Amino acid sequence: MDFTPLFKPKTIAVIGVSLSNDRHPANVIYNKIHLRYPVKVYPVNPRGGRLQRDTVYTGIAEIPTRIDLAVIAARAEFVPDIMESCIQNDVGSATVISGGFSEIGREDLQNRLVAIARKANFPFIGPNCLGIYAPARFDTFFLPGERLVRPDPGRVAIISQSGGVLVDQMVKFAGQGVGLSLAVSIGNKALIRELDLLTYLATDPGTSVITFYVEGFEKNEGRTFVQAAAEVPKPIIVLKAGKTAEGSRAVSSHTASLAGDYRVFSEVLAQHGIAEARNEFEMVSFCESLSCYQKPVEGKVGIITVSGGHGALATDVCSAYGLTIPRLSEDNQQHIRQQLSPSVQPIASLSNPVDLTGSATDDDFVAAAGGLSSAPEIDCVIILLLPYSPGISSDLGARLSYVYHREGKPLVAYVPHQEKYRMLIEGFELNNVPVSSSIDGAVLMVEALRRCRPC
């Protein structure tokens, strides 16, 4: 199947718009695309008429140009006939927003939809989904534009069975500064499934990290998915729902999926070096880290701080995840000490964590980061920055990023995410160094690099 019209359409038809209810999902989708995006969009309703002075077409056949993507938001019983009309009129693809299929026991209706599409080799997403969000291109989510939080364009793709989880993750991504290449809500995934999208995204030049929220697979599908994912040269992150018996029942009632044996699935992910995020918080941290670094680490962490308490907290979190904090050799400690400011040399603790104390300046951080990055006992560095420390400037993020680019050893920063520290944060982000708003998040960024190592 050709997914180009599905994810890169130039023309869109929204089928099912209401002439009397502007809050109808189809109307929300049409208005948003019409007002906010650079694609040409056409409203469709069998009764025809006008919608905000725009012509409402009675069907696909009436639209005067070829349609790349049909967004179908009509009652479930009408959807198969609508899809047949789309195929007859050379529409390139469809997103079926409508619910009322296998998730409520109407497997017959969903099977009919799939049979129609397969016979014509016609790609569609859904049903029972939000569809597709392609930053700066188009958006089929039936959520008002003023309420939707949109991450900036970036290099992370997220595929989700749940529209609600997807939108919630987009809020978190935006807050953490994680940019998206594509977001797809697949709902019942009647035709296009995780494996299909994995294959497409594996060669998508705009995507560096592929993330999945999965509720369940068909029999033997999970193993096939993992084996295919292991062959993809890009980092892959999976967040799995249905870990418990109660969660499995919730999954089944949501999208009629089989949750399967979570323990086995989790073990297979680890064996193949696929990063499993255990919750939404981990997913966000993993996405930011793996969008910057693709080389795995063993998890031998060096920590730099100006606060002994922060260093202790970070050490505890690292230990809880099985990351190690190796003691620096006396030679390496001495090498770092010689590079420090005269006022910091006698008071800094350098065994690891490296506590530069509140007297540290930018130059001290750069010296410590360089020393840890060249130490063979360390394979990644966490820098805990407290921007209210008097010796730190807004240029420090950029200067530390240069250390990473010079030494090549992954570096992760913690900086409180406040607007007044924006320049410091951007110094990291603009140089492709991940920066977390919490100590736990910074540690998880390192853990992501370790989980991408095959067992």
Show me where the domains of the chain are located: 1-125, 149-292, 295-451
Q: Is the pLDDT of residue 254 over 80?
A: no
CATH architecture of 149-292: 3-Layer(aba) Sandwich (3.40)
> From start to end of 318-359, where are the E strands?
354-355
Please answer whether residues 80 and 116 qualify as being in contact, where contact means their C-beta atoms are separated by less than 8 angstroms: yes
Q: Is the pLDDT of residue 5 over 90?
A: yes
Which of 390 and 248 is assigned the larger pLDDT? 390
pLDDT classification of 242: cutoffs 50, 70, 90: confident
Amino acid at 300: K
Q: What is the pLDDT of residue 340?
A: 97
Please answer whether residues 352 and 323 qualify as being in contact, where contact means their C-beta atoms are separated by less than 8 angstroms: no
Q: What is the pLDDT of residue 247?
A: 43
CATH architecture of 295-451: 3-Layer(aba) Sandwich (3.40)
Half-sphere exposure of 373 (CA within 13 A, CB side): 21
- In CATH terms, the superfamily for domain 1-125 is NAD(P)-binding Rossmann-like Domain (3.40.50.720)
Per-residue pLDDT tens for 205-239? Answer: 999 999 999 998 888 888 899 999 999 999 999 99
Q: What is the pLDDT of residue 294?
A: 86
In this structure, the strands spanning 69-72 and 93-96 are parallel
SS3 call for 125: strand
Are the folds of 1-125 and 149-292 the same? yes
pLDDT classification of 455: cutoffs 50, 70, 90: low
The single-letter DSSP state of residue 328 is P
H-helix or E-strand containing 289?
helix 280-292
Please answer whether residues 14 and 77 qualify as being in contact, where contact means their C-beta atoms are separated by less than 8 angstroms: no
Taking alpha carbons only, the member of 400, 394, 398 closest to residue 382 is 400
Torsion sign over Cα 262, 263, 265, 270: positive
Q: Is the pLDDT of residue 250 over 80?
A: no
d(CA 37, CA 352): 51
d(CA 379, CA 450): 10
Per-residue pLDDT tens for 293-332? Answer: 988 999 999 999 999 999 999 999 999 999 999 999 999 9
**Phi and psi, residue 376, nearest 5°:** -65, -20
Residue written as tokens 């998040």? 441
Could you give the residue ranges of the DSSP H alpha helices within 378-438? 396-407, 422-429
**Phi and psi, residue 251, nearest 5°:** -60, -45
d(CA 175, CA 384): 19
Cis, bond preceding 127 (omega within 30 deg of 0): yes
Q: What is the pLDDT of residue 84?
A: 97
Per-residue pLDDT tens for 263-284? Answer: 888 899 989 989 999 999 999 9
